[in-house]
């Protein structure tokens, strides 16, 4: 199927009309929309936070599929050794050659706490996916000793399609906390998330960026 026309080219991301339409709801957000927002966080909101890394869903999917000995191929170009907090948007897609999946959750590695924290807006749905991915990465970060894995409570979605918006909101909140406090564990995660407002906010960001080109 032919791609719809390009709405915005933002650093490494091309947003098409079909991607932007997903933000109108009620739709599941795809890899491209989440990658765009991760890029926006890195290049705009947290451009001075050199200790924080937002890994795109595409790179995360590649890491899932390679041998542990090949993980460095994807992480070292991102200056991973200089980062204290690494954010991964995870989905339950196990196919190595196509985007997809049905549920997003957020995995954060905190080097300062030597811990993976998992935030799932449909509690338990992505536990196995997150644990498998964290275990895969532990061999890469094992130089720091034992690494913990913790499923953290967070606000739960009330439908079957807003998981991606929750990942975006949780990422932004946790990154702000990490920047201010240099840890993840104490971040208050019961603050209300309004997915419809966040969708409109992201549409506004896209509109403003496209006008400035």
Annotation marks residue 154 as catalytic: no
- Give first-to-last CA distance, the chain, whole Å: 28
Annotation marks residue 187 as catalytic: no
CA distance 14 to 36: 8
Pairing mode, strands 115-119 and 148-152: parallel
Catalytic residue from among 154, 163, 169, 187: 163
Structure token pair of residue 191 = 């603050």
Cis peptide leading into residue 11 (ω within 30°): no
| Locus of tokens 């990490």 | 178
> Roughly what angle, to the nearest 10 degrees, separates helices 127-141 and 57-65?
80
CA distance 121 to 49: 26
CA distances from 187 to 39, 56, 113, 179 (A): 23, 23, 13, 11
Catalytic residue from among 103, 118, 166, 177: 103
3-state secondary structure of 151: strand
> Roughly what angle, to the nearest 10 degrees, separates helices 163-181 and 195-212?
80
189: nearest Cα among 156, 150, 143, 145: 156
Catalytic residue from among 120, 154, 162, 169: 120
Please identify every residue annotated as catalytic: 103, 120, 163
């Amino acid at each position: 199927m032919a791609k719809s026309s390009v709405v915005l080219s933002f650093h490494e991301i091309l947003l098409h009309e079909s991607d932007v339409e997903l933000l109108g709801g009620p739709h599941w957000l795809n890899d491209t929309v989440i990658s765009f927002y991760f890029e926006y966080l890195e290049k705009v909101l947290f451009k001075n936070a050199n200790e924080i890394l937002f890994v795109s869903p595409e790179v995360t999917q590649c890491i899932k599929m390679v041998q542990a000995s090949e993980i460095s191929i994807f992480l070292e170009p991102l200056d991973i050794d200089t980062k204290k907090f690494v954010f991964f948007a995870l989905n339950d897609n196990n196919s190595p050659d196509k985007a997809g999946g049905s549920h997003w959750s957020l995995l954060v590695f905190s080097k300062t706490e030597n811990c993976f924290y998992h935030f799932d807006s449909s509690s338990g749905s992505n536990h196995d996916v997150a644990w498998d991915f964290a275990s895969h990465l532990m061999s890469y970060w094992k130089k720091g000793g034992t690494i913990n894995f913790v499923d953290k409570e967070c606000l739960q979605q009330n439908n079957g399609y807003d998981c991606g918006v929750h990942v975006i909101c949780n990422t932004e909140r946790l990154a702000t906390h990490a920047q201010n406090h240099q840890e993840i564990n104490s971040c208050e995660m019961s603050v209300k998330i309004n997915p419809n407002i966040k969708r409109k906010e992201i549409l506004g960001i896209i509109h403003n960026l496209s006008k400035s080109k």
